[in-house]
Amino acid sequence: MEITAANGYELFSQAGRYYALQFLSKMLSNTNYYHKDSMGDTFTAIETQTAFLLDGYENSSYNKIAMMPEGIWWEEEAKDKFEYAAKNIDESLSRDQRRFGLMSLPNPDASYQKEKNTIIDLNKAYSFVNGNIASSKVKAAKAFLAFCHTDENLRLYTTVTNTPKMLSYNITDDDYSKLTYFGKSVWDAYTNSDLVLPVSESRLFLDNQQAFDIFRNFRTATESVAVDAFDTTRQKGAVTPQAFFNGTRSLFDQSYWNANYAKYF
């Protein structure tokens, strides 16, 4: 089916949306599948990283953790914990020696195995110029941003942070060798996937960017967060992936689409 401005609501019926919900529901269906504190309202991203790196090593009463949903920048955020683990527990727990890798969502069935992964970059911009600076400084600010985004400095950015920017550039074999094991897996995924950027020349998109934010589109009329809907410790499994999927389709149906966007088609 060809998606146009007139039938954009059909995107809410994509099978991939259902498969993602199904996977999330399965992960939350058994409390043995996740850390006991991870569903708490006060368990921060930094605490999650700390548990991922140290549980089962520093505190033997906890099991080692296999996976952590995180952004590709997490290693840089957790560098102090890597240093702590290497110094106080074992050198093998250093950032350079841990063998972490980026894992995409599993394919729902065998028919998807020949397809590339799809990666979406949620950032709409990488750099900003303060709108309140003196007009005499604007030219210098733009020149500095241009300097930061030369091929040489983008390569440097990647080797220092172990993350790519969603821009067109390559790194050398020597650059690649400087990445951590996790950094190599991120670069490999980045260069071997279909990349999607949240940018468009479409007036419909430009005028309604907040409405098309991905986090606003995985919800129903009664459930605003899928994780909470599937958390059996709170909801007792009352919401199924099918019910959530159907609820999203109902919320963003043709009548909703026409009421909000008909002027664009």
Tens-place pLDDT, residues 172-201: 999 999 999 999 999 999 999 998 888 889
Helices and strands (H and E) in the chain: how many: 13, 2
Give pLDDT, residue 142. Answer: 93
What single-letter DSSP state applies at residue 169?
Answer: -
What gap in Å lies between CA 126 and CA 165, rounded to an integer? Answer: 8
Question: What is the identity of the amino acid at 33?
Answer: Y
Write 249-254 long-range contacts (CB < 8 A, 24+): 249/12, 249/13, 250/220, 250/221, 251/219, 251/220, 251/221, 252/9, 252/12, 252/217, 253/9, 253/12, 254/7, 254/9
Q: Point out the residues of the chain with pLDDT beneath 70.
A: 232-238
What gap in Å lies between CA 247 and CA 242, rounded to an integer? Answer: 8
* pTM of the full structure: 0.86
Give pLDDT, residue 236. Answer: 57
